Structure 1
Amino acid sequence: MVNILKRRWQLAKVRSGDGSALRDYRFWQVFSRSLFFLDLASPEGNRSYAVDVRHLTDAKTRKQHDNAEGRPPAALYRDGVQVARSNLPTAFPVPGGVIEVAISAFGLKRMHFVPDLGGERVLRPHPRSQEGLRARFGDRFPRTSAVIGTVALVILLAALVVNVLHVAEVVTHSPAIAERVGTFVSPIHLPTWANVTLIVAALLSGVDRALRLQHNRFIDVVSS
């Protein structure tokens, strides 16, 4: 039921596109734009879809995205023509399913085609985008990429443990809680330089996972 209501809410935010053409991806947009592609078969024949996400769209423009002068955070293109646009998170309807799009503090966390019959797959990133460059690195150096991914996961897990212990210590030192359950002292107390290093490493790990569209609601909360 929750998933059904969530899907309806996301679909309700989608508005008709303005019919504009998909603009070419420029190298200076690598930190401000994500572009993904999906080829689907339809009764009219094979169609090429693209999802264009503008990360730096400001709040004012987001509110105006239904107007001609506004630029939506996310837009769906069919054969190079804008057919839908929406705020995020959203779900764009396409033949046979939907394209789910969502962002986190460090980039995309969802860019998946979800068929009506079940399953899902990630869309194909533009080769010059951040996600495309990271995917190309993974293809060229699969072992190194796997090691980086594992290290990123371990760092986030370590940061999660440290944060949970610290929060537990702070909460149980509240007089009202201490009287009922006692106090807890974290066994891990890092020096300032180690805390800073862990924070920076967790942020970088979060960025790497976002570029690979890897997201876990519990683990990645540390980096966001």
Structure 2
Amino acid sequence: MLTGWRRRRAIRRIKPGDGHPLKRFRWWQMFTGRALLHLDLGGPDGRPVRYSVDVRHQGDREGRVIAHLYREGRHHASSRVPAVLPVPGGAIEVATSAVGLKRCHYVDTVSTQHQLVPDPRSAEGRRARLERGHPVLSRAIGVVSVVMLVIGLGLNLLQLLEPISRIPPIAENIGIFVSPIHLPLWLNVALALGAALGSAERALRLRYHWLLDAGGN
């Protein structure tokens, strides 16, 4: 959750919307990095009002990832991520990583968080449907994702320690670390790909850990 100066800075980046309609999610946009999530809040008359967050991970012409907020299907506001988009009773916080969404949560005035619901046509929505329909399989996929990230992180650390230990002041005081693991190039590439896929799978569930997932990006 964004707090303090980061939250104030994010709020200053908000731009008013121009009212254009929200485009329907197309199946092929799963492969172009589009994420679409929804939130229904009670309106003044008691009827639910739908807020939608549309994020295109490929970025704009300057490479910036923008979160667009729609109210009842009309463009309401936008901001570069990480974004804080005010809505009645709180704000929607949006953050991304190199592979997808880190968070897209409604945070109310008492700091209670609720994840927005992915559009059923989106990759995040299809992953959520798998979790609801096949919870055992979903958990197994989640475990495999974490295992691949842990392996990737461990190998990265081992490969970094040896050159760092050769820095003269470190080598003189601690000694040179020699990695006990020397993998062939093809296996290094395969494990790196597995870590990237694991990080991408976790992004579909809006799961992110600064150590695990940063290593997979």
TM-score scaled by length of structure 2: 0.92
**Aligned residue in 2 for 1:68:** none
Residue 85 of structure 2 is aligned to residue 92 of structure 1? yes
Unaligned runs of 5+ in 1: 63-71
**Aligned residue in 2 for 1:69:** none
SS of match in other structure, 1:99: strand
**Aligned residue in 1 for 2:53:** 51
TM-score scaled by length of structure 1: 0.89
Distance 2:72 2:118 in 1: 16
Distance 1:43 1:169 in 2: 62
**Aligned residue in 2 for 1:18:** 18
Q: Tell me which amino acid in the other structure corresponds to 1:187.
A: P
SS of match in other structure, 2:179: coil
Aligned pair partner of 2:183 in 180, 190, 196? 190
Deviations 1:132-186 (A, max 9, x none): 1111111111101100101110111111111112211110112232122221122
**Aligned residue in 2 for 1:60:** 62
The residue correspondences of 1:73-84 to structure 2 (distance < 5 A) are 73-84=66-77
Distance 2:114 2:146 in 1: 22
Q: CA RMSD in A?
A: 1.7
Q: Tell me which amino acid in the other structure corresponds to 2:13.
A: K
CA shift at 1:197, angstroms?
1.6
Residue 192 of structure 2 is aligned to residue 199 of structure 1? yes
**Aligned residue in 1 for 2:151:** 158
SS of match in other structure, 1:60: coil
Distance 1:164 1:119 in 2: 36
Distance 1:7 1:121 in 2: 18
CA distance 1:44–1:187, change in 2 (3 Å): farther
SS of match in other structure, 1:53: strand
Instruction: Say how many residue pairs are matched.
Output: 214
**Aligned residue in 1 for 2:4:** 4
Residue 215 of structure 2 is aligned to residue 222 of structure 1? yes
CA shift at 1:44, angstroms?
4.6
Deviations 1:23-79 (A, max 9, x none): 1112222223111000112435331100011222333385xxxxxxxxx72210111
Residue 148 of structure 2 is aligned to residue 146 of structure 1? no
SS of match in other structure, 1:59: coil
Q: Tell me which amino acid in the other structure corresponds to 1:150.
A: V
Residue 105 of structure 2 is aligned to residue 106 of structure 1? no
CA shift at 1:10, angstroms?
1.0
CA distance 1:211–1:15, change in 2 (3 Å): same
